[in-house]
């Protein structure tokens, strides 16, 4: 049995070309934490993507060993938590991460249930499957884990029709899908083009209420915008946006924000940066992002452009 496997990673990209659609299997992108499990002699050892031992962090998945009927195996998957609507939520999962002791873990088990979603089998009973095609590894995985357990399951996949699955994921508000080439082997530690993650981005308008100075190559320019939206309490802080700018927009913001400067924050929430500079909330920009975090700030935001067709006071949080 391999002592340690660095997980194979997917590259970000678009759906495969239509002519290649049938050469790929498509799965949901789960938005959790990667977990490689080593099962031998009735015990389970689990490691994260960066090879940290997370065995004791998720004790509810340990009984999966009994369901494997004595088989020894190395499996790849993702630990996922779900929000109130049943969608994978990294924000929810964070409440189960970085816990200091067993008492905290046991307490959070009831508060934040998790599932171990399995999607690859790398080694079983002395056979190294990493050089075998994806389809063979998935067939062997399904034979090994014949039925889902209380908090583990084998992920489903569809050969072809990536466009259809992407649209279904979009309708359910999921993060995206992953396309995996049917003939591909498992490439430990590599970010491979044989696996392509296709993200679904959200977008909406936000009011610009401040900015952070740039560092490094951006010294003397904008580093990030501080954005928010209005609700009944006032302008709510939604996070910082530090990507999506080119040299032209950086120069534009340097000139446009200067006359709007103010001494106090326009946000009703506390902004967690001492170097924040504040402006009158007069400008509206469109921002693309993946999701709202559990702290109600934007995850992976990117600036898309200014909007002059909407008044700042009309900008609220999209449902």
Where in the sequence numbering do the catalytic residues fall?
Answer: 29
215 CB-contact burial (10 Å; exposed 0-12 / middle 13-18 / buried 19+): exposed
Contact present, 38 and 45 (Cβ < 8 Å) = yes
Contact present, 138 and 120 (Cβ < 8 Å) = yes
231 CB-contact burial (10 Å; exposed 0-12 / middle 13-18 / buried 19+): exposed
146 CB-contact burial (10 Å; exposed 0-12 / middle 13-18 / buried 19+): exposed
Q: Which of 288, 275, 285, 283 is nearest to 305 (CA)?
A: 285
Contacts with 301 (C-beta within 8 Å, 6 or more apart), sequence order = 227, 239, 240, 241, 243, 244, 287, 288, 289
Dihedral over Cα of 264, 266, 268, 271: its sign: negative
Contacts with 168 (C-beta within 8 Å, 6 or more apart), sequence order = none
Give the distance, in angstroms, between the CA of residue 181 and the centroid of all CA atoms in the same chain. Answer: 21
26 forms beta bridges with: 158, 179
Structure-token pair, residue 77: 């998957």
Contact present, 35 and 54 (Cβ < 8 Å) = yes
DSSP class per residue in 303-318: EEEE--SS-GGG----
């Amino acid at each position: 049995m391999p002592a340690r496997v660095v997980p194979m990673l997917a590259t970000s990209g678009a759906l495969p070309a239509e002519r290649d659609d049938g050469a790929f299997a498509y799965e949901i992108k789960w938005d959790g934490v990667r977990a490689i499990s080593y099962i031998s002699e009735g015990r389970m050892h689990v490691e994260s993507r960066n090879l940290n031992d997370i065995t004791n962090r998720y004790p509810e998945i340990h009984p999966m060993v009994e369901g494997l009927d004595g088989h020894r195996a190395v499996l790849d998957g993702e630990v996922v938590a779900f929000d109130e609507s049943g969608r994978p939520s990294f924000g929810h999962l964070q409440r189960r991460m970085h816990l200091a002791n067993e008492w905290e873990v046991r307490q959070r088990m009831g508060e934040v249930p998790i599932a171990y979603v399995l999607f690859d089998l790398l080694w079983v009973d002395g056979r190294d499957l990493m050089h075998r095609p994806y389809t063979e590894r998935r067939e062997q995985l399904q034979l090994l884990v014949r039925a889902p357990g209380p908090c583990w399951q084998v992920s489903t996949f569809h050969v072809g029709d990536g466009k259809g699955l992407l649209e279904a994921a979009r309708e359910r508000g999921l993060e995206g899908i992953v396309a995996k080439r049917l003939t591909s082997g498992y490439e430990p530690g590599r970010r491979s083009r044989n696996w392509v993650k296709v993200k679904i981005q959200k977008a909406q308008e936000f009011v610009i209420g401040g900015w952070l100075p740039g560092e490094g190559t951006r010294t003397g320019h904008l580093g990030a915008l501080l954005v928010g939206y209005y609700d009944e309490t006032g302008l709510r802080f939604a996070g910082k946006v530090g990507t999506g700018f080119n040299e032209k927009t950086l120069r534009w913001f340097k000139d446009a924000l200067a006359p709007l400067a103010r001494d106090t924050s326009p946000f009703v929430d506390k902004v967690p940066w001492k170097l924040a500079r504040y402006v009158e909330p007069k400008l509206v920009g469109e921002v693309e992002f993946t999701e709202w975090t559990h702290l109600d700030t934007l995850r992976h935001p990117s600036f898309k452009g200014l909007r002059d067709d909407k008044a700042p006071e009309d900008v609220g949080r999209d449902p």
